Every structure is written in structure tokens, then in C-alpha cells.
Structure 1
Amino acid sequence: MTCKTNDRNTERHSWCDMCEIVGVRHITTKRRPMLKRIPSHMYRHALSALVGLLGWSLLCLSHIDHASARPKSKKHSTRVSRAQLSKRGFGAQTTFDRKQLTRKLNRILRSRKLRGARVGLIVTDRDGHPLYQKNAKKLYIPASNTKIFTIAAALHTLGPQYQYTTKIYGTRPIDKNGVLRGDLYIKGSGDPLLRSEELWRITRDLYNLGLRKITGRVKFDASVFDRKRFGKGWKDHNHERYRPYLAATGGLSMNFNTITITIHPGKVGKKARITIDPPSRYVRKVINLTKTVTSVGRIKAKIRMRGFRNREHIIIRGNIPSSAAPRSYWRRVSHPGWYTAFNLVYFLRQQRIRVNRWPRRSRVPGNAVELHRYVSPLLTTSLQYAGKYSSNFVTEQVLKTMGAEKYNAPGTWKKGLRVVQTFLKKHGIMPKEYTMQNGSGLGRGNRFSPLQIATLLKGMLADLSTRPDFLTVLPVAGKDGTLRNRMLSIKSTLRAKTGTIDGVSSLSGYVQTRDKRMLIFSICMNGKLRQVKLFRRLQNKIGAVLAAYPWKK
């Protein structure tokens, strides 16, 4: 683009200065007189320049207006209100309605059917501030709520990653021909989850190592625990002393120290068929006093275990309906070490490893050679049986393990309770303020208050190193464990440990409300045997009330 100025008199006329602004090439011409009329293209140049300047001005003004519209950088400008946090579920809720909570809980506990019963209840927030209390400082029989203290102490003392190790030793190494010239030793560590499957795997591994024959005997070492198999409180349940929930403890145990007895109907007028699992020589004799009859119904039999030296007799009585389906019973064994050793011999012979069928008790000699070892799952897995399924056997095994680890073998009830006592002191629960006879809550000699239970629950919630594992071992309402068929309306929002013996029912744990609050509660109810079902119904109502907060008007 060029400037076609027809100025012949001057080298450069004044109006063509605009050519430099708008970038137009200027062509000089000969001098000529200046014309009075302004050329039309000058207007175009000037207009385009003005439009460009106007555009830059408007752009600058828009930036100034945008900057002035920004809020001033004050601290409160970036904060979110409590109401907004509450809506978003971040825990910044309004004050808890204690009056309404008190009315609702009092209405539940005024039931006429509770006459003669002792009830203690406490509800706190996650920081331990009480929201409701009733007889919270009084001592009650907590039943299996005692396991809360044992589980918490085990996680703190042993750690969630703790594992049991069962070791196999030989007097000498296995030779080239697969012969162990001497004895085979199995040394227990108190593993509560050693079962037939694990024992079979151990014998299979020995076969894979080349073992084909043992010239000596199988010997077992259970010295990690003392020989006291039954603790304080077992005699309170003496009328059910053969039941599996009263299983003996032992440094070497298997199948929760229980044996499975299955009854199959026979021909009418004949005896029923009995099968034992595992079918080892630990059971010396089965005395079958049953009779198959033509009646219709479920199998009901009376089974007794009678000790005979280091083995047992099984006595079975009852009329067995011919049309009934087979039924299995579980009964405790009285000699855990011998029971495991006899079963080890059985599984070795199943693997075609030749061995003398009669085991012996003996400590592992110092010059023995380690042949194999079995490592159990993590402690958290074991504690799930204690928490979710309320296994007394697992809890007592863990209690003795704490004693053995802290104060050296053999582990005893006294040493284990001493470990728990030291742990509870750290949470402000003094020994003179409670009574603890065992780790599982068996018997009627244990005494704790709802406030003490809630205090420990608050402490476990604040300890990040054990909190996930502790929450994992508690039953979940409507999902698993002893709460799988309870409080289905608030499924998954409540985690709590149950406790039940004759005339006693307890429930303690955590519940999440509708506005995402975490509440801690403990309910202890002591009364008559026939009131246990009522206690459970009332506990379910209390759990539903807490989970439904804030309540609809």
C-alpha cells in the first residue's frame, strides 16, 4: 500500500506524517504548490488510527474494572460457614440436641419388663464429652465386652503385624533316602488358628522335602504356655462344660481345641452311624448308645466327653429320627497338645510317611535341626475371631501370648492380665476400679462400668497406629459377626462388640449418625435369664435412635 500524494513542490508534505503511523509507504514527488483541499485518503488514515487507539483504551479500561471488582484479601473471605460444612458432611455440626436425646432414651429404658434389671448406659461424642448417662459409673458383669480390653491391649502390645510360628524339628537332618533317623518334634507358639488344613499343609511340605520315614516318634512341645488349661470363670458354666465355647487353652492347639461329631440316621431299630473329624487315634473309643426310630424331626442327641489318660471317650445317647438329615456337633477336647500330636501322626501317615502311631510329650533338645516352619496370618485376622465371632478360645490364647512375650515363657493368665492392667493404666483406668478374672468375659466374676468401656473406646479411636485394625475386628450391624442379624435398618453404620451370658447382655462400640457424627456408646444390662432377648431388643432400639440423629420432627 502506497501513499499517492501528488505534492510536487515539497520533498514531503506535512500530512504524510500520518503515513508513518499507519505504515503506508510514502512516494516522494516533485515540488508543487500545496492544494487547499485535503485529500480524501487522509481521512481514511486518520480514522483507522483513531479506531486503533480507541480499541486499546477500551481494553485497558476493562482490565482496570475487573481488578477493582475482586474482593479484598481478608481472612474471612476464604472461610466456609459452619452451616456449609455441615451440609457437605465435614463434621462442623451444630450443637447436639441433648434434651431430645434424653427424652428418647429415657422412653426406651422405662419399659416395665426391665423391672428387677440393672441397666447402665453412656453416650459420648468422639472426644469423650458425655451426651447421656445413666448409672454409667456403676460396675456390671460385661460378659464378652471384656474382650474389648484384651483386644485393645493385644494390638498395643503385640502389634497388628504379629504372627505365630509353628516349627518342625528333627533329631538329625533327613538323609538321602528320605529317612529321619530319630524323632520329629512339633513346637507350638500358641497359634489359635492352626487347623486341620494347616496341619495337612505342614505334612505335605515335609513330604516335598523328601521325608518318607521316621524311625523314632512324633513328639510335641507346648511349653510356651503353662499346663493350666481352664481359667477362672469356667466353673460358672459347668452345666455346659463340653461345649466348644469352654475350650481349653494350650501352647499347641488345633481346630480351636474342638472335635466334630456327625450323627447319621441308620436303619429303624438300629444304632445311628457316627463319624469323627479328624479321625485320629486321640478318640480312644466311641460309645454309641443311640437308636434310630420312625419319628419325624431333627436329630437331638446328648454327647459327653470322658477323659482317659491323655485321650478321650465319646458317649452318645438319643433317639435318632430315620428321616432326619445328618447333624454335626462340636465338643471341646481336654488335652490340646496330645490332640494335635495324634492328628499330626494321622496326616503324616496320610502322606505315606511311615511313623510310629503313638506320640509323646517332650521339649525340643538344643541340638535339634529345624526342618520346617509354618507362619500364621497376621494378629488382626486372629482378633477378628475374638471380636466379630466372640471366640473365647482365641481371646484366651492371645492373652497368654501377651504374657509370654512380655514376661517370657511360659505364658499364664496372671502374666497376661498384668499386661492388660498396665495398658489400662495408660488410659486412666486404675486396677482398683474394676475386676478382671480372664480375657474373654467367661463367668460372673468380671466387673467393668460403661464409663470405663467408653473411655477405652475413645482412646482406641484416637490412636492412629491401631485404630484401623481395632475397627476391623468389631462386628458390623446387619453385615457380619454377632450383629449380622441385628439392627438391619441401620446396616453398616454401627460397629460394636456384643456380650451375652445367662442373664447378661452388653453392647459397646461406635455409631455414625445421619449428619456424619461419630458417637461412642456402652450399654450394660444385668438381670434374669429370660430377660436377655428383651435386652437385645432395647439395645437395637437405642442403636437405631443414635444412628437416626438429627431426628425428623
Structure 2
Amino acid sequence: MRRWLGRSSLFLGALSLSVVSVVAQAAGFDHVARLADKGFVISAQAQLLDSGEVLGALNPSQPLSPASVTKLYTAAAALDRWGPQHRFTTRFVSTGALDGNGVLHGDLVLEGGGDPALTSEELWRLIQKLRELGVSSIDGQLVISQWRFGPVTCETSDRCKTQTEGTNAYASLLSSAAVNYGSWCATVMPGVVGQPARITSCDTVAPTLRIENDVTTVAAGGSADLYAKRDTDSQGDTLKISGRIPAGTYPRPIYKASSDPADQTGQTLLSLLRQAGVPVSGGYAVSRQAPPPSAKGLAAVEGKPLQELLLRTLNYSNNFMADTLALDLTSGTQQNLPDAGRELERFATSLPGHGAAILRSGSGLTPENRVSAQSVNALLGAMYGNASLFPTFVAGMQVPTNGPMHFIRRGSQTFQDHVMLKTGTLNEPVTVRAVAGYFRTDSGRWGSFAVLVNGTASTPYLSWRETLPMVADDLTAMIDRH
């Protein structure tokens, strides 16, 4: 489903005819160019979208790592494939028969539909639909089917480490049957001063994994100091939480990636079924096989519209959601991130004026991803030229003055109010600070920009506190001139 016709093709054609020397172009990025003196490699370009006029550029065709700016490609490809109102469906199916007493004789299969935002709330709605059919118990197993993809082979050191130890939520593992973004959640609440804190599951009445509680309740007035990690052994996951929490403090949620998202779904769903009064005699199992053709649908729940998924994916730079969406673009069974990357590459190279791209993931966690500032602007221009998709696409970007990520609230008021952006950050194996998006001039003209800054093994650490004001100063000058 390709829609890249009309105004975007005209402006990109004009852009391809623009031949400006590197020296002249660099004048538009005077501040950003200073990073080259420290050894950083830069690809930058800004342009007006109605005319294709290049306002500034610095090595615009140099392929560099875009980090999470990659998510713009995933969002655009998803919108192009499905449109803003698409919803992913999760189903209960079974080959068993329901008797007059409400007993389902046979396995109950959860068929994962690759919903990037499937949560316990959706599972509860699914169980309610099962109860409406009169199902009161399962004489068989609960089977979690991740036949589309999962477990997905890890492609980065962070995700490979997550298989045995979870110290964060941003590197969650992937499955088409994952729930709660592939992460466990526990809530820490103060107890009696001097005694252990209270810890409960965010998602079920009783915790579905082992919890080691080494959190002490201290006197009111202090600050909470919590440390948590998830360990895995032969018996499964354990969430270990230590530290202190003051009396009277509001509850604190803790999120850590699980070692096996489909297994996490099995534990969570089994607990919710029991909580709903629907016992399962055979426990649960995880399968990579599709349900047999003879399986009949029992209940289904649709997830949130794609436009809402993209808002969360881009605004919060959610790696789990982005990579799940990229995997959803693939066809066949048991797909992995390189397969998803090839789909994104095909999409990118189909855009007028884009050129070659290397995309190994939809999130940008893979440091091998390579695009140029010129290519990112081709993507932004194509989306701007698509009247039916552009509003949803741009809505996922942050306006610095009121975006959820506070670190972008830098620069002039012009930058704060006139720019819509997506950032990308990597610290290993080299520093990456990338930013791309749109701007509007006081006269109402639209422009797009991309600034990709990559370090080397010998460059110093580069913070956003240092980088973003440089980008803001250069864009402010361009906006003010037009």
C-alpha cells in the first residue's frame, strides 16, 4: 500500500536538483559543526518542504547510526501498511468442546497477534468474554502460542543480557504473545517503620513471580532509595528489590524486563483466570506452533488503534513497541529482527530520493543501523506530502516546550515552540546523539531537519545538555530567517 505521490515527489525532485557546496551548506549548522573539532562525525540537513530549498547541510549524504530516530521509519512503514485505525487482535481458540456445565474439555490457546501494547487489562477483557460464553473451567492446558515470532533471537548485548538478568525495561525481549511490554511490574509501598515494605504485583492480585523483599520502611520525611533487578535460574524469574522507602510515601512501581515474555504471559494469564474463577487443570505451556486449522475462535480482543500505539512508541521511545511493530510487518512464521529490518529497508528505499539504508531493527537499539540526514529528510518529506497519514505521524513527535521528555526543553523559545522532533541516543559501542523532525516558520512554512552525530572510540562523552543547544541555535537561526 504505497501512497508516495503528489507534493512530496515534487519537492524531492526539486531537492535532487539542488547542488550546493559543502562549505556553503555548512554555514547553516555553524554550532553543530563545532563537534567535528572534537572528532565527532556529523551528517546534518535542514530544508523547506514547500520548495525543497536547503537551508543548511553538513555531510548530508554520510550514512551514520540514527539510534532511536529509526523509530520514525517504523512508524511511517506501519502507517503505510495499515493506516492509523488498524488494531491488532489477540484471540482465545480451542479444539475442545464446552459441555453443559461450563467445562471446556481441551486446551485453551492464547493466539498472540503481535499487539505491541497488550496489557493485563486486555487479558482481563478477553477472560470476561470467555465467561460470557459460559466457560467456568478448563480441563486441559493453557497454551501460549507465539507462532508469529518468539522467542526472538537477541541482536544486541543489552537484550542478550536480559535473558539471564534484568536491570532495565528498555531492552525487553520480544514475542508476538508478549504482555505488559515484556516486563514485570511490582509496586513497593511503605509498611511499619523499621519493618519491611509491602510489595505487590501491578498486574495480578498475587505476584506471579518470586520476589525477594529487602526494602526497609524508614521514618517519614526522607526520600525513597530503591534498587531492583531480575535474576533467572532453573525455577524461573526472581525480582530482587532492596533499599528503603519512607513512611507515608506514595507507592513506587518497579519495572524490569522478563527473561521470557511468552512465559510471563502464561504466568500472568493463568493467575488472572484463577482470579476470575476459571481454574485450569493442566497449568500452562508455551508453543511456537500455530493453532490447528480445526481450532475454533472462542473470544477475541482488539488492541488500541495504531495511531495511539505510535504516540506511545515515539513519545516515550519505546523499544519493545517499535521492534514488535517492525516484526509485525514481516510475513511467515518465527521471524527475527533481521527479517523486520529488511522490510524497513524495502520501505525506505521505495521513498523518492531516499537511497540505500541499513536497518537491523525497528527501534534503533542495533548500532549497525545506517542512514544519512538527507535520507531521513526524504522520509520526513514523503510523510509531509501524505495528507492522510501526516497528522498521525507528526503527532507522535515531541514539541520541546511541553514534551514528556524533559531533557529536550532547551534552546530558544523559537526552538521550544516551533519544532517537533524525535531524538535518538546510544552510548555503546560509540556515542550517538541524533535528532530529526519538523519545524514551522512564523509565516507558516513547514521544514524538516535531521542531525546525526556519531562518536568514535577516541571521542569524549557527549551529553544532550551539550548537543541540543547547538542544534537549537542553528535551527532557530534558520527559522528566524524565514
* Category of TM-score, reference length = shorter chain: 0.7 to 0.9
CA distance in 1, matches of 2:155, 2:418: 36
User: In the TM superposition, what are the counterparts of 1:295-306 in structure 2 within 5 Å?
Assistant: 297-306=222-231
Corresponding position of 2:293: 366
CA distance in 2, matches of 1:240, 1:221: 24
**Secondary structure at 1:286 match in 2:** strand
1:393 is displaced (CA, Å) by 0.6
Greater RCO (Cα-Cα under 8 Å, separation 6 or more) = 2
User: In the TM superposition, what are the counterparts of 1:272-283 in structure 2 within 5 Å?
Assistant: 272-279=197-204, 283=208
Letter in 1 for 2:383: M
**Secondary structure at 1:436 match in 2:** coil
Corresponding position of 2:319: 392
Confirm whether residue 410 of structure 1 aligns to residue 410 of structure 2. no
Letter in 2 for 1:351: A
1:110 is displaced (CA, Å) by 6.5
Corresponding position of 1:167: 91
Corresponding position of 1:438: 361
Residues 381 and 123 of structure 1, relative CA distance in 2, 3 Å threshold: same
1:281 is displaced (CA, Å) by 7.2
CA contact (8 A) 2:433 2:453 kept: yes
TM-score normalized by structure 2?
0.83
Letter in 2 for 1:298: S
Corresponding position of 1:456: 379
Letter in 2 for 1:521: F
Letter in 2 for 1:213: S
User: In the TM superposition, what are the counterparts of 1:60-79 in structure 2 within 5 Å?
Assistant: none
Letter in 1 for 2:222: G
Corresponding position of 1:541: 473
Letter in 2 for 1:345: L
CA distance in 2, matches of 1:172, 1:111: 68
Once the two structures are superposed, residues 183-203 of structure 1 have per-residue CA deviations (whole angstroms, 9 ceiling, x without a partner) of 211100111111111111111
- Say how many residue pairs are matched: 446
Q: 2:75 aligns with which of 151, 155, 158?
A: 151
Q: 2:142 aligns with which of 210, 218, 221?
A: 218
Residues 178 and 357 of structure 1, relative CA distance in 2, 3 Å threshold: same
TM-score normalized by structure 1?
0.73
**Secondary structure at 1:244 match in 2:** coil
**Secondary structure at 1:249 match in 2:** coil
CA contact (8 A) 1:223 1:409 kept: yes
Aligned CA RMSD, in angstroms, stands at 3.1
Corresponding position of 1:135: 59
**Secondary structure at 1:246 match in 2:** coil
1:331 is displaced (CA, Å) by 0.9
1:520 is displaced (CA, Å) by 1.3
Letter in 2 for 1:498: T
Q: 2:175 aligns with which of 250, 267, 270?
A: 250
Corresponding position of 1:201: 125
CA distance in 2, matches of 1:466, 1:178: 46
CA distance in 2, matches of 1:274, 1:369: 40
Letter in 2 for 1:386: T
1:291 is displaced (CA, Å) by 3.5
CA distance in 2, matches of 1:237, 1:531: 25
1:162 is displaced (CA, Å) by 3.0
Give unpaired runs (5+ residues) of structure 2.
1-20
CA distance in 2, matches of 1:356, 1:139: 56
CA contact (8 A) 2:231 2:237 kept: yes
Residues 418 and 445 of structure 1, relative CA distance in 2, 3 Å threshold: closer
**Secondary structure at 2:31 match in 1:** helix
Q: 1:350 aligns with which of 253, 262, 275?
A: 275
Letter in 2 for 1:458: G
CA contact (8 A) 1:282 1:311 kept: no
CA distance in 1, matches of 2:469, 2:413: 13
**Secondary structure at 1:538 match in 2:** helix
CA contact (8 A) 2:189 2:198 kept: yes
Residues 132 and 295 of structure 1, relative CA distance in 2, 3 Å threshold: same
Corresponding position of 2:31: 108
Corresponding position of 1:3: none
Letter in 2 for 1:436: L
CA contact (8 A) 2:172 2:320 kept: yes
Q: 2:190 aligns with which of 253, 257, 265?
A: 265
Confirm whether residue 473 of structure 1 aligns to residue 385 of structure 2. no
CA distance in 2, matches of 1:261, 1:153: 34
1:521 is displaced (CA, Å) by 0.9
CA contact (8 A) 2:152 2:335 kept: no
Higher helix share: 1
Corresponding position of 1:26: none
Residues 262 and 150 of structure 1, relative CA distance in 2, 3 Å threshold: same
Residues 236 and 216 of structure 1, relative CA distance in 2, 3 Å threshold: closer
CA distance in 2, matches of 1:410, 1:240: 24
Once the two structures are superposed, residues 52-95 of structure 1 have per-residue CA deviations (whole angstroms, 9 ceiling, x without a partner) of xxxxxxxxxxxxxxxxxxxxxxxxxxxxxxxxxxxxxxxxxxxx
CA contact (8 A) 1:122 1:451 kept: yes
CA distance in 1, matches of 2:436, 2:329: 24
CA contact (8 A) 2:142 2:283 kept: yes
Q: 1:176 aligns with which of 90, 93, 100?
A: 100
Once the two structures are superposed, residues 413-448 of structure 1 have per-residue CA deviations (whole angstroms, 9 ceiling, x without a partner) of 2221111121222224444xx432211111433222
Identity across matched positions, percent: 26
Corresponding position of 1:14: none
Residues 106 and 488 of structure 1, relative CA distance in 2, 3 Å threshold: closer
**Secondary structure at 1:245 match in 2:** coil
Residues 298 and 539 of structure 1, relative CA distance in 2, 3 Å threshold: farther
Q: Greater shift after overlay, 113-122 or 471-480?
A: 113-122
Moved over 6 A (4+): 101-104, 236-240
Corresponding position of 2:450: 522
Q: Greater shift after overlay, 204-213 or 354-363?
A: 354-363
Corresponding position of 2:4: none
